[in-house]
Homo-oligomer: A and B are copies of this chain.
Amino acid sequence: MHVGMIGLGRMGWNMSRRLLQAGHQVVAYNRTVARSQELAAYGAVPCESLEECVQRLEPPRVIWCMLPAGGVLGEYVSRLAELTESGDIVIDGGNSNYRDAPAHHERFAARGIDFLDAGVSGGVWGLEKGFCLMVGGPPRAYEHIVPLLRSLAPENGFLYCGPSGAGHFVKMVHNGIEYGMMQAYAEGFALLEHSDYGSELDHAAISRVWQHGSVIRSWLLELAGRAFTESPKLSDIKPYVEDSGEGRWCVEEALRSSTSAPVLTLAVMERFRSRDDAGFADKLLAALREQFGGHAVRRSAS
C-alpha cells in the first residue's frame, strides 16, 4: 500500500521502517529533510515539503501523521485540510488528547476526507515486536487501512475502538494504567531495597524469577529485569521522572467522569514529587511542627 508518513521522530521512523519491511511504499516528509533522506536508504520516497508529499501520493491518499501533540499537529491538520481532497484519509498517530479528535474529524469530514485517531503503543521496541494500535473514527476508513495496521502491529495487535476520539481515548487510559503499574513495581522494589534483606537481594534475579509463573509477570517487569541487569542498584540514575501528559489527562478524565482513580492519580503525582526540589509543602510541615511542638527544624545553609 502507498502511505504518506509525516514526522520521522522516534515513533514515525520506526513505523516507517516496519511498513517498508512489509513491502509498503512510504512517501516520507520530515521538517528536517535530512531525516527523510536517511529513510530513503531503507526504501522510502523522501519529500522536501508537505505539498510534495501529498502530490506524490495517488488519490485516495492515506497520510499518517506522527507529530508532537497540540500546536504542531494542529498546524499540519490545517495545511492538510487544504492539500488533501475528498476520499483521502488522514491519521493522527501521535500522543494527542482524545478531545481534540472530534474537531479535526469534523473539519476534514466537511471536505469529504476521513480522519482517524490512532493510539500507538510499543515504544522503541515497536520496530522489532510490532506496535499496538487503537483506532477511532469512520469505520470505512479503518477498513481501508487494515493492511497498514496488519503490518505495523503484531498478530491481533490492532483494534477499531469506536467513533472519533475513541482510539486516542483508549490509548490515554492505557498510559494511565502504565503509570499505575510502573509505580506499583517501583514501590515494591523500594520495599525490597529498604528492608533488612536489602543489601542481599538481587533485584535483577528477582525480576527474572517473577517472570516465570508468578501473578505479576509482565513486559514492564521484563524491562525492570533489563534495567537491574545493566545497573544492579540503579546507582547512576537520578531519581527524576518526567511525564508525557497522558497521565495527567487520565486524571482530568477521572474528574470529568467523577471516577475515583487514586492509584493512577498518585502515580502521576509521585512524578511531580520526584521533580520538586523546593519542597515548599514539606517546609511548611516542618515549620508547623516547630510551631506547635517545639520540634527542631533543619535549617538550610542560605
A58, CB-defined interface residue at 8 Å: no
Q: Are B215 and A161 in contact (CB under 8 A)?
A: no
CA A302 – CA B290 in complex, angstroms? 35
A187 touches B180 (CB 8 A): yes
CB within 8 Å of B: which A40-94 residues: none
B residues near A278, Cβ cutoff 8 Å: 239
Q: Does any Cβ of B come within 8 Å of A21's Cβ?
A: no
Verify A174–B214 contact, CB threshold 8 A. Answer: yes
Residues on B with C-beta less than 8 A from A6 are none
By a CB distance below 8 angstroms, the chain B residues around A271 are: 282, 285
User: How far does the alpha carbon of A165 sit from the alpha carbon of B241 in the complex, in Å?
Assistant: 32
Contact present for A234 and B287 (CB under 8 Å): yes
**Contacting pair A213 B157 (CB below 8 A):** yes
Alpha-carbon distance A180/B125, docked complex (angstroms): 25
- Residue-by-residue, is A283-302 near B (CB-CB < 8 Å gives 1, otherwise 0)? 11111111111110111101
* Contact of A154 with B by CB under 8 A: yes
Residue A1 is within 8 A (CB to CB) of chain B in the complex: no
A192 on the B face (CB < 8 A): yes
Segment at the B interface, from A31-39, A140-148, A253-261? A253-261
B227 touches A219 (CB 8 A): no
Q: Are B292 and A197 in contact (CB under 8 A)?
A: no
Q: Which residue of B lies closest to A247 (CB)?
A: B255
The one of B187, B197, B212, B295 that contacts A169, using a Cβ cutoff of 8 Å: B197
Query: Do A122 and B213 have beta carbons less than 8 Å apart?
Result: yes
* Cβ contact of A287, chosen from B180, B190, B231, B254, cutoff 8 A: B231
| Contact A190 B280, CB 8 Å, known A209-B132, A213-B131, A297-B237 | yes
> Which of B223, B239, B284 is close to A282, meaning CB atoms less than 8 Å apart?
B239
**How many Å lie between the Cα of A209 and that of B134 in the bound state?**
8
Tell me the bound Cα distance from A174 to B209 in angstroms.
11
Question: Are B274 and A269 in contact (CB-based, < 8 A)?
Answer: no
In the complex, which of the residues B130, B187, B297 contacts A212, with contact meaning CB atoms closer than 8 Å? B130
- Residues of chain B within 8 A (CB-CB) of A126 are 213
B contact residues around A221 at 8 Å (CB):
218
If the complex has contacts A241-B282, A295-B242, are A173 and B191 also in contact, measured as CB distance less than 8 A? yes
The interface of chain A, by Cβ under 8 A from chain B, is 10, 121-126, 129-134, 153-159, 161-163, 165-166, 169-170, 173-195, 197, 200-201, 205-206, 208-221, 223-224, 226-227, 231, 234-242, 248, 250-255, 257-276, 278-295, 297-300, 302
